[in-house]
Chain A
């Protein structure tokens, strides 16, 4: 079984709708991250959490919110989806050391019409 899972894998929604993307991990990591990927722009950090009580904004947090329900679960919400939030979304996890590797989920492809 995959260590980092994301649901749903694909989602089509309409402008103005609220949607939630979920991430679960079985690696026992404290740190979790949400990124979005757009063509030609690499990955950009939306939010990150270094433990259950710690939530921080990344470089592009506007229009998004997150919830860290447990060590293993980190969800990303789009309160009112807009077309320019159409992207590939990735969740990642890492340990708490200085040079920990981030491990990525398979991604959620989101299309906002």
Chain B
């Protein structure tokens, strides 16, 4: 199994609906990053969480970090077609892995107008 598991792997929603994507780590997190990728394009940085209980927002996207569960959730409110793409979480570890990101497999989001 992967160090970083995302769920669901894919998601299809109707425009205007809310949705949540989860990212669970099997190892201690030093930092957790969320990126968005349009199909075949580069990754766009959304936000970074470090402290347990931390919550950040970027337009209609909110991410939280549950340090106890080693899990982060990404919530989109009132989804729009522009939210469609692949969402990836990346974990920053300490120790010998310092400075490197380990990514989840991604969640493919489709938003139907």
- Contact (Cβ within 8 A) B100 A103: no
| CA gap between A54 and B53 in the complex, in Å | 36
Chain B residue, CB-CB nearest to A100: B99
The reply on A12 being an interface residue by CB < 8 A is no
Taking chain A's interface residues, is the majority helix, strand, or loop, or is none over half, making it mixed? strand
Count how many chain A residues have C-beta atoms less than 8 Å from C-beta atoms of the other chain.
27
* Residue in A42, A48, A103 whose beta carbon sits within 8 Å of that of B45 in the complex: A103
| CA gap between A94 and B105 in the complex, in Å | 22
- Contact (Cβ within 8 A) A88 B92: no
- Contact (Cβ within 8 A) B48 A99: yes
The reply on B78 being an interface residue by CB < 8 A is no
- Contact (Cβ within 8 A) B42 A107: yes
Rounded to whole Å, the gap between the CB of B18 and the closest CB of chain A is 25
- Contact (Cβ within 8 A) A102 B101: yes
Q: Which A residues are CB-close (under 8 A) to B104? A: 42
- Which residues from chain A sit less than 8 Å from chain B, CB to CB? 4, 31, 33, 35, 40-45, 48, 50, 58, 88, 90, 92, 94, 99-107, 109
